[in-house]
Amino acid sequence: MMAIIAIPASAQFRIGPRLGFNVNELHFNQSVLDSDNRAGFTGGLMAEFTVPLVGLGFDASFMYVRRDARWLEGNEYTSDKRDYFEIPINLKWKIGVPVIGKIITPYLATGPSFAFLTSGKNVRDGIKNKSFDAAWNFGFGVELLSHLQIGASYGLGMTKALEAVGGANGVDIDGKNRYWTVTAAYLF
């Protein structure tokens, strides 16, 4: 009983900067449009809470994100740079490895991400960015020397990020974000 009560007292709360890049692709509900991968960047602040003996906890970040998109509509390319304030919240499991745990600790993470558009909504006539975008992240990474976390995650878009009304061939088209993000965070 005393051991269970002592676990929360030794829990760790840490905070620090987080920077990285992302590779984004829009997935459309119609095969009429074809999108390609585009690079963007991200930066912000991350907080982490972990229960050490179990290695289970969560992290939350407040990030500025630039996502770039380009797609082929007929014979014409359309490109769009979208800026977001994003709040990813992840359940995180740090996998304790005996002997080397103070040097390198692998982890797995998953959770929702909520993004709020800060750039313009209109891409061009009939194509609009949505002001809110939600995704589910699946990630992995390593913590080095108990401070530096390097991780990668895949964001699976759950809501429409872009909507084209009367687009190619007069068909309404929705686009969802799919993206890889690689970040480094230094936690104090």
- 64-106 pLDDT tens trace: 999 887 776 667 777 788 899 999 999 999 998 888 888 999 9
Residue 31: predicted pLDDT: 53
CB 35 within 8 A of CB 179: no
**Residue 4 carries which DSSP code?**
H
Higher pLDDT, 146 or 53: 146
Fill in the DSSP letter of residue 165. S
Give the mean pLDDT of the chain.
Answer: 85
List phi, psi (to 5°) of 172. Answer: -75, 130
In this structure, what token pair is assigned to residue 98?
A: 């005996």
- Bigger pLDDT: 165 vs 182: 182
Q: Are 45 and 61 in contact (CB under 8 A)?
A: yes
The whole-number average pLDDT for the span 19-48 is 80
Q: Which two tokens stand for residue 154?
A: 């895949």
38 membership: H or E segment, kind and range: strand 38-51
